[in-house]
């Protein structure tokens, strides 16, 4: 006996609807294999090719050169500061250089903040990633190569042109980060994703370390000590700042030579033939709708708020750390370059360590542990001066008759750099794993777009706290310690997140 009565069906959940839509569109979500599998290693290899640009250009080599020798040098050479005390003139020139570099970062961050979330949402709607990433990397390489012609005294590129190159490359870097991060969940099986993320950071810092070592041995040390070569290699003229300008072409060529394995083996779940304009149009609508319905993605948005706070504190800490060691320990170019190599080497360990922590503790607990450690390390670093360590408890003494790193304070700060590099890199790895963990599976590209700008929309907050507390206390170290407030607020928000609501699958 047959019956026409059918059992009622329950409404599909958000995840089930996503799976239905994926099947209709032809998506295949979720990766296979581990961190060293073909697709996992290819995803991580992208950072081996791309990340040295950020480390060399944005942090350690070109940006300081641009601020000190082009902006500051041009101001001193113009005669505008003639008659001023030399030390005061140097301080004014340096401040102008720092302000200009900050302006570059501000404009690049603003452009990214206004566009990156929509880009990520377009990827969620089927837009292919690899073709877009090729455009981003080609743009980065071209803008980076142009920096060879960035010279003081009005020669070569004008200051506005140099700033334009830096802004274009920075925005392209951010866009590539959104597209690349949105591919993470498809790079390997879910439980292997923390290891893949950590491996990428380790490879990126490892590549930067190799470049730093080459620059020091081939250009910096021959110029200062005539060792291991009698003069800078390849005819580089250090009197024309070519050792700094070379960083741009070096990063451009590195990207071109190293990126092939990513494009050959990585997994792109986008749909061939997806029209660009409708994908972006629907992406914009989707982001606006997502923000309006924030309560439906409460845990993901709470994490983005937490990340906004602690990422701003992290950025301020890293920037202040370079200023602090230069001021209080009197480190010059050789010391700072060796310090950059040292930190990059340990950042490799940090990438692996972050993946291990994620697997052992889960990304939420790993983040809490990492941020707590960073606060302790930060105050340890602030305790170091030319005279004492640990806020006066241990006197500084000369340990070795070396031209560099001969005092106890020098070695103590190298220890601080090692620990910060490990835990800061682990924090980046855990943060990316957390996005995969709390974001809806079919909206990860969109949330990675929001994630990419979470640390840039409040870039003023850390410097503002430092300025206020320094003026109030008349003590630079107290002023610097104020950024701990951002870490504490970020930690407080992290503790409220229920990460179990969104498994990483």
**Coil, strand or helix at 407:** strand
pLDDT string in tens for the chain (505-residue length): 444 433 334 333 444 444 434 444 344 455 677 778 899 999 999 999 999 998 889 877 888 888 888 988 899 999 898 888 887 787 677 767 767 776 787 788 778 777 877 777 777 777 788 999 999 999 999 999 999 999 998 889 999 999 999 999 999 998 998 889 888 888 888 778 878 888 898 899 889 889 988 988 898 888 888 888 989 899 999 889 898 899 999 999 999 999 999 999 998 877 676 667 677 777 777 767 766 766 667 787 888 888 888 887 887 676 556 656 665 676 766 787 788 888 888 888 888 888 888 888 888 899 999 999 999 998 888 888 888 898 788 988 888 877 778 888 889 998 998 999 999 989 988 888 888 777 777 776 667 666 765 655 555 566 567 666 766 765 667 777 888 888 999 899 988 888 664 444 4
Cross-strand pairs, 395 = 388
How many CB atoms within 10 Å of residue 274?
A: 15
* Contact (Cβ atoms closer than 8 angstroms) between residue 299 and residue 498: yes
Q: How far apart are CA 429 and CA 209, in angstroms?
A: 19
Q: How far apart are CA 468 and CA 25, in angstroms?
A: 53
**Which pLDDT score, from 0 to 100, does residue 322 have?**
61
**What secondary structure does DSSP assign to 339-386, as a single string?**
HHHHHHHHHHHHHHHHHHHHHHH-HHHHHHHHHHHHHHHHHHHHT--S
In 3D space, the residue among 428, 421, 419, 417 whose CA is nearest the CA of residue 355 turns out to be 428
**Which pLDDT score, from 0 to 100, does residue 476 have?**
60
Task: Write the CB contacts of 245 (distance below 8 Å, at least 6 apart in sequence).
Answer: 62, 65, 147, 148, 149, 150, 151
**Which pLDDT score, from 0 to 100, does residue 133 have?**
95
* Contact (Cβ atoms closer than 8 angstroms) between residue 54 and residue 37: no
**Which pLDDT score, from 0 to 100, does residue 88 have?**
77
In 3D space, the residue among 172, 208, 198 whose CA is nearest the CA of residue 60 turns out to be 208
Q: How far apart are CA 362 and CA 434, in angstroms?
A: 9
- The whole-model pTM stands at 0.78
**Coil, strand or helix at 398:** strand
How many CB atoms within 10 Å of residue 369?
A: 17
Q: What is the largest CA-CA distance in the chain?
A: 106
**Which pLDDT score, from 0 to 100, does residue 344 have?**
81
Q: How far apart are CA 424 and CA 308, in angstroms?
A: 15
Between the CA of residue 25 and those of 29, 126, 421, what are the distances in Å?
11, 8, 42
In 3D space, the residue among 245, 217, 51, 269 whose CA is nearest the CA of residue 145 turns out to be 245
Between the CA of residue 274 and those of 17, 18, 26, 129, what are the distances in Å?
20, 18, 11, 11
Q: How far apart are CA 477 and CA 483, in angstroms?
A: 11
């Amino acid at each position: 006996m047959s019956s026409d009565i059918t059992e009622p069906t329950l409404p599909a959940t958000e995840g089930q609807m996503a799976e239905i839509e994926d099947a209709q569109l032809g998506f295949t979500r979720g990766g296979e294999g581990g961190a060293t599998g073909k697709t996992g290693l290819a995803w991580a290899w992208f950072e081996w090719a791309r990340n040295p640009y950020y480390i060399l250009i944005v942090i350690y080599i070109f940006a300081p050169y641009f601020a000190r020798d082009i902006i500051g040098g041009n101001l001193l050479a113009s005669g505008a500061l003639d008659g001023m005390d030399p030390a005061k003139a140097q301080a004014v020139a340096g401040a102008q250089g720092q302000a200009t570099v900050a302006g570059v970062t501000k404009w690049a961050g603003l452009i990214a903040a206004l566009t990156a979330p929509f880009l990520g949402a377009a990827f969620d709607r089927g837009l292919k990633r690899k073709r877009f990433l090729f455009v981003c990397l080609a743009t980065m390489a071209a803008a980076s190569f142009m920096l060879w012609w960035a010279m003081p005294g009005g020669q070569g590129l004008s200051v506005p042109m140099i700033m334009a190159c830096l802004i274009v490359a920075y925005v392209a870097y951010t866009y590539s980060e959104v597209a690349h991060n949105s591919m993470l969940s498809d790079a390997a099986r879910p439980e292997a994703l923390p290891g893949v993320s950590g491996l990428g950071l380790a490879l990126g810092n490892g590549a930067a370390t190799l470049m730093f070592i080459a620059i020091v041995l081939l250009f910096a040390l021959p110029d200062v000590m005539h060792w291991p070569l009698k003069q800078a290699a390849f005819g580089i003229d250090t009197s024309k700042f070519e050792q700094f300008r070379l960083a741009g072409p070096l990063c451009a060529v590195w990207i071109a030579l190293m990126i092939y394995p990513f494009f050959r083996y990585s997994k792109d779940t986008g749909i061939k033939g997806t029209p660009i304009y409708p994908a972006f149009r629907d992406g914009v609508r989707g982001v606006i709708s997502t923000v309006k319905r924030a309560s439906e993605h409460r845990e993901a948005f709470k994490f983005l708020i937490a990340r906004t706070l602690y990422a701003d504190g992290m950025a301020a800490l890293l920037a202040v750390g370079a200023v602090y060691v230069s001021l209080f320990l009197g480190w010059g170019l050789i010391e700072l370059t060796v310090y950059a190599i040292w930190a990059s080497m340990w950042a490799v360990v940090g990438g692996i360590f972050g993946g291990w922590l994620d697997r052992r503790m889960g990304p939420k607990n790993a983040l809490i542990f990492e941020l707590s450690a960073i606060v302790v390390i930060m105050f340890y670093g602030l305790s170091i001066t030319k005279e004492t360590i640990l806020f006066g408890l241990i006197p500084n003494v000369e340990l070795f008759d070396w031209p560099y790193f001969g005092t106890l304070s020098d070695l103590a700060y190298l220890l601080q750099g090692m620990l910060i590099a490990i835990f800061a890199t682990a924090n980046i790895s855990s943060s990316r794993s957390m996005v995969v963990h709390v974001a809806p599976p079919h909206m990860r590209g969109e949330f990675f777009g929001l994630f990419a700008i979470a640390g840039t929309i409040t870039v003023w907050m850390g410097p503002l706290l430092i300025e206020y507390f320094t003026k109030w206390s008349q003590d630079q170290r107290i002023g610097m310690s104020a950024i701990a407030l951002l870490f504490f607020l970020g930690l407080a928000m992290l503790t409220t997140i229920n990460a179990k609501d969104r498994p990483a699958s």
